[in-house]
Amino acid sequence: MSRLDLVIFGATGFTGKQAVIHMVKFAKKYDLGSWGVAGRSETKLANLMTEVSKKTGEDVSNVKIIIADVDDEKSLKDMCSQTKMVVNCCGPYRLYGEPVVKAAVENKANYVDVSGEPQFMELMQLRYDEQARAAGVFIVSACGWDSIPADMGVIFLKQNFAGTLNSVESYLKTYMPPEVEAEARERGVINYGTWESLVYGIAHHDELPALRKKLYPDPLPPLKPKLLRQKLQKKGSKWYLPFLGADESVVYRTQRYLYHKEQQRPIQFRAYFKSGGLLQTILTIFGGILLYIMTKFSFTRNILLKYPKVCSFGMITREGPTDNVMNNTHFTFELVGKGWENGADVENTKPNKTVIAKVTGTNPGYGATVVALLMSALTILKEKENLPAAGGVATPGAVFKNTNIIKKLIENNLNYEIVDGK
């Protein structure tokens, strides 16, 4: 029996539903042969497809419905054995991800997800990389907003640098028109699942050092000049704080891969986000400290999970943001790359070249994210000749560096461009 090209698992969840809606269009646009949706409830899946058909105006009767549950190993095996690619939208991945990864590897199905959880991603690499290589499949996490803009942004900047790139600093800023801010305060701007992943990620952040020591027993060579993390930066009239998402973790893993597999000079990376004016920045710092403390104790952690809207000052709701709010949330990553011109003495001179790239898009959590996710899945399916020879558990930058994924992202309004230093 021939396999489906792709199955979206967790299709009835908030992110899964957005992925299904986008997949209806992409299946036609990129000539996908067959695909399916999977989840625990056949009724919910059938209702989802009826809703998607109405919303897109397309006939989706040929999309296969598969019943699969993370708590049922046999159902995951049956799902993975029916497809070439599992698109996993069922998070938090710390809680629900590993059984799907395991089933995908054992049944020779490729796998992508939108995890922004370094502990999960690095643990999967430690446990399943060798098995995935033996099976000839790719297991690629962080294929959403964490961390396609940053990881592929560094790759894009390097490809357009024309010299030796030493370091990249990423500056994230978001914008929402004033006329939708009231709606955002009512329904939030982030879905509960993302909040849940964040809370558990912070709570278990202390696991990372020991995990990384096992994953990477040997340090990278020292690079000069060393790129230090700034605790607080000012650009113009606005302040920037370190971005605590998965971007630095993912980019670091990509650079380690390129250093060990292709002997490329690693690129140092730091990520920041715009926190606003000085008062807003101070409040953000205190809010971050309070969040960190509350995640460390089960009682206060349960409060965070039980009352997300109150604890996030209205940013997170269980219902998730409205379509209007999502479609009017815009973002920009400014990636500032520094290094040396071609022919410069890299060892004995200071960097003498700067190139700036921008990655821009709309609806970061659930629009740009699912575009990046599905383009990642389609790239693995359609561009085998441009992928690394072996499979394995790897990052987007490691797997997609020689593919046309950036072109596909630009085609779908996740834009990459060089804005200075061409």
Domain ranges of the chain: 6-143+370-400, 148-364+411-420
The stretch 401-407 carries a mean pLDDT of 97
pLDDT band at 389 (very low <50, low <70, confident <90, very high): confident
Give the CATH H-level superfamily of domain 6-143+370-400.
Answer: NAD(P)-binding Rossmann-like Domain (3.40.50.720)
User: CB atoms < 10 A from the CB of 159, how many?
Assistant: 14
Can you give the pLDDT at residue 422?
Answer: 58
Q: Is 192 helix (H, G, I), strand (E, B) or coil?
A: helix
Can you give the pLDDT at residue 55?
Answer: 92
Alpha carbon of 136 to those of 1, 130, 150, 393: distances in Å?
20, 10, 27, 11
- Residue 292 pLDDT more than 90? yes
- Residue 120 pLDDT more than 70? yes
Is the CB of residue 89 less than 8 Å from the CB of residue 12? no
Can you give the pLDDT at residue 414?
Answer: 95
> Would you state the structure tokens that stand for residue 133, as one six-digit string?
């290589």
> Would you state the structure tokens that stand for residue 144, as one six-digit string?
């959403």
Domain 148-364+411-420, CATH class in plain words: alpha beta
User: CB atoms < 10 A from the CB of 247, how many?
Assistant: 28
pLDDT band at 58 (very low <50, low <70, confident <90, very high): very high
